[in-house]
Structure 1
Amino acid sequence: MTPEELAAARDRILPDVVAGGLRVLFCGINPGLMSAATGHHFARPGNRFWPVLHLSGFTPRRLAPAEQEELLTYRLGITNVVARATARADELSAEEYREGGRLLTAKVELLRPQWLAVVGVTAYRTAFGERGAKIGPQERTIGSTRIWALPNPSGLNAHWTAHTMAEEYARLRLTAETGTGTGTEDGAETGAGAETEADR
């Protein structure tokens, strides 16, 4: 992918990977330029979303970003708080996050997944006005859909290793499968503004 191709992907809209009846709808912050250029979510090699999804037991093997449609066979999907692609998450305004939260709410009301998993507690706090939110299950619901804030899989999120991140994702998986294990735990996360295209 050349710098020119990446630059041309700025502000591009990356389509969701969604369907009705999902167990978990994962929600990123917004697409990075690599994701927008390739059409694949979490496409940067430094992003840990796909390996963590496998380590946590959501997928039987590590999927490549190009295999994202296979998630639907496991009743999993991907969307974003903000649809437009940027090189850095801090290029997004607070109003874009809030508008993204409103649009995401409408999307969840339509699709009715069992869980909405926002992969970035900072993004969740901003989009939904929940300034005190921690990693884990949230009190807020959208209709019958429950919400879980997960660690941001960016390579810049040094507070979490792939292993500890997978443990948190696995808590959500077990809860979605069995309805148990929803005890909250404090989590740490780097701010969304610290993310760069190289790690998204």
Structure 2
Amino acid sequence: MPEIAAVPHPRPTRAEVAAAAGRTIPDVIAPGLRVLFCGINPGLYSGATGRHFARPGNRFWPALHRGGFTERELRSWEPDELVAHGLGITNLVARATARADELRPEELIAGAAELADKARRYAPAWVAVVGVTAYRIGFRRRTATLGEQPERLGPARLWVLPNPSGLNAHFQLDALGAQFAALREAAEKQPAATAP
């Protein structure tokens, strides 16, 4: 799967979006982050732009701000600002698809193992999986709920957030912001990861 750099213009053409299937985008990651957010996989719009949560209408960036992680709403083209706040982004599955339901369970399971490796290597204080259904499948936790999880990933504590996609009608933006705020509050109380 080819990896592409960020496209210089913010809005790709329909042809660019359609051609993005299977592409990957680089992680926004650094050692010792406060929170490493883990999306399910890039959508085609993100694949076309080379930016995480890039589609207009995706509520990750507004929820991050409403949750108190940033003093202003960052944009998908500001990965350096994200890292400056001690935050990063990766995905359970690297390849871009039109919909997350195109992913096979074995891809999510393999992605969970790769995420555990990243957590050991980069040692974030927290890893937050963004999407409870993907978490349940990838981590084989069929009854998992939102919030802090009992297990850890390497030294990192583990949290599950709702999927911020505009297709997730169960959570409106205020409710998403509240979920992100709960994570921020937990991270402020226990900022440093410790080995299990």
Q: Same fold (TM over 0.5)?
A: yes
The residue aligned with 1:132 is 143
- Corresponding residue SS for 1:65: coil
Matched, 1:49 2:31: no
Q: 1:53 offset after TM fit, Å?
A: 0.5
The residue aligned with 1:191 is none
Percent of aligned positions with the same letter in both sequences? 57
Count of aligned positions: 180
TM normalised by structure 1 equals 0.87
Larger helix proportion of the pair: 1
Which ranges in structure 1 are unaligned for 5 or more consecutive residues? 181-200
The residue aligned with 2:131 is 120
Which ranges in structure 2 are unaligned for 5 or more consecutive residues? 1-11, 192-196
Please give the per-residue CA displacement for 1:97-141, whole angstroms capped at 9, x wherever unaligned: 111111111111101100000010111111110111000000011
Distance in 2 (CA, whole Å) between partners of 1:62 and 1:9 is: 26
The residue aligned with 1:103 is 114
Distance in 1 (CA, whole Å) between partners of 2:133 and 2:67 is: 22
Distance in 2 (CA, whole Å) between partners of 1:9 and 1:69 is: 24
The residue aligned with 1:143 is 154
- Corresponding residue SS for 1:133: coil
The residue aligned with 2:186 is 175
The residue aligned with 1:161 is 172
Q: 1:179 offset after TM fit, Å?
A: 2.8
Distance in 2 (CA, whole Å) between partners of 1:27 and 1:66 is: 17
Matched, 1:16 2:33: no
Distance in 2 (CA, whole Å) between partners of 1:116 and 1:158 is: 24
The residue aligned with 1:184 is none
